[in-house]
Structure 1
Amino acid sequence: MPGKTLVRKPFIRRTLAAAVVVAVTAGCSAQAADRASDPSDGKPDGGATAPSGASTPSAAPTPSPTPTPSRTPSPTPSATESERPEDAESSSAPPAEVLMAQGDGGNRVRKLQARLAQIGWFDDAPTGTYGPVTATAVRGFQGKRGLPVTGKTDTVTWQRLLAMTKEPTRAELEGKAVNKPKVELDPRCLNGRVMCISKTSRTLSWVVDGAVKSTMDVRFGSQYTPTREGVFSVFMKSRDHVSSLYDTPMPYALFFSGGQAVHYSADFAANGYKGASHGCVNVRDRKAVAALFDQVRNGDKVVVHW
């Protein structure tokens, strides 16, 4: 028909395919430790307004005597019924006092670090210095328990931590005894072949029909490039992968969500939890992840959970 523009579908398909390849091969890489500030959740409340129905004609009114208007004035709201800002201010709880924050140091900070280590939020030896690593651990602890995520140890955060932990031993204060939380499988990991990845215990468990075959330490993306949570499946394996975005090696990469993959990280092996990935699940045990790579197949399930 004259004037009608034809769209070449093969060209569109080739363009979309190229975009998918670029997104996957970009991958992720290690980055520096989390910064101190925290973004807001940014999830707006939503809802739908139900459409109003058609009005129903009312029956013819029955004549009635016209009421005589009352001349009695309506009551004036009393002081207790009206808004009084001073009452609202007095009823609100005062803000929690900050006890420790970045830049602080001393034995109390060391105890904070040791207590966080008891429940798996601090994996390095206590230093007595409140730096970015400690602030990141505190943010994780706060966010998990629905507290304001500030990275600062206030009175509410400290009391919650005291209730969940015990007085650190000398060995714990010196970093010689680190207790990690018990690895608990998510119910979604109990059937089939699953890489079950816990952000709480920071572990990856290779599970086949409910039986754990191997478990290894992992780390995740920072708050700015978080590792996605949910149920996924392995869609690509790349033994000697190199990130085209960061130009860094990602050996034994098992891709499960866009450019995010489980892979070996030399940075994690060298620096531990002082850094973070750009969203990938880093493994520091090269031998363990190499064996995992040989066992996992495309289509196997991946569960990332708290």
Structure 2
Amino acid sequence: MNRGILAGTAVAVVVALATGCTPDGSGPGTDQGKDKGKGTVSQAPTTSSPSASATPSPSASASATSDDKPSSPTPSASATTGKPKREYLMGDGDESAQVRELQARLRQLGFFDRAPTGFYGTLTTASVKRFQARRGLPETGSVDETTWRTLLSVTRKPTAEELKPSTTNKLDAPDPRCMTGRVMCISKETRTLAWMIDGKVVSSMDVRFGSENTPTREGLFKVEWKAREWTSTIYHTPMPYAMFFSRGQAVHYSRDFAARGYAGASHGCVNVRDKAKLSALFDQVKVGDKVVVYW
């Protein structure tokens, strides 16, 4: 046992360390077994640091290989340049503030289920086609004047939060157990963590969970102990800003999640990929605060 752990949390630490927790989804493993770990343990919150919003930025190379080309009206050649003349306002491969607004307006209607990125790729093309089909317009997948005017007429101007949401994933409706007190409200369905105080969302972030073989436990828990710096001796990987809540399972920052997204999984812990947001949350959360993990 790390002798730096304060006496007041000795019992909780012994329980947590007896089961272990893996920090990153870099390979197969299990949450069972001893994980004494090493690092510094924090008992009380310090002054929080500003939270940074994370807006995904698409890869140009990825879009070139994975995005299907939208079906658009056959362009005519320009008499002056010889280049095809576009007959639409926005389409596949475009990246602009107007595309971000398009995505936000489509999201208002339920046709776009991601955070706006400003990049027009496969998902946006499919969303536009669904909207066009619903409104009886030609299903081109690109936005012409008629499509844009129709969309403007049935939506409102997006707010700053709608254009650049605090999470990539849309927040779930809070579990009833999250509506009182101080609680990390963690939804497996939407893969989000909402830090709530007396029923109000203070901050939120995307999260990742354990695999089918090593699932993240569900239920009502409390923060047993905290460690600003911690390293798993089972997997030999760092677990910054760890907040342990269930026999070794913890909310913590994951470099693997930040790098690979949902291509990986943890071995039971709740991974966070936004380090700045989690740092601010770590400073606010106190030992004893509630943790709710639910579907």
Query: What TM-score does the superposition give when structure 1 sets the normalisation length?
Result: 0.48
Q: Which has the higher contact order (CA 8 A, sep 6+)?
A: 2
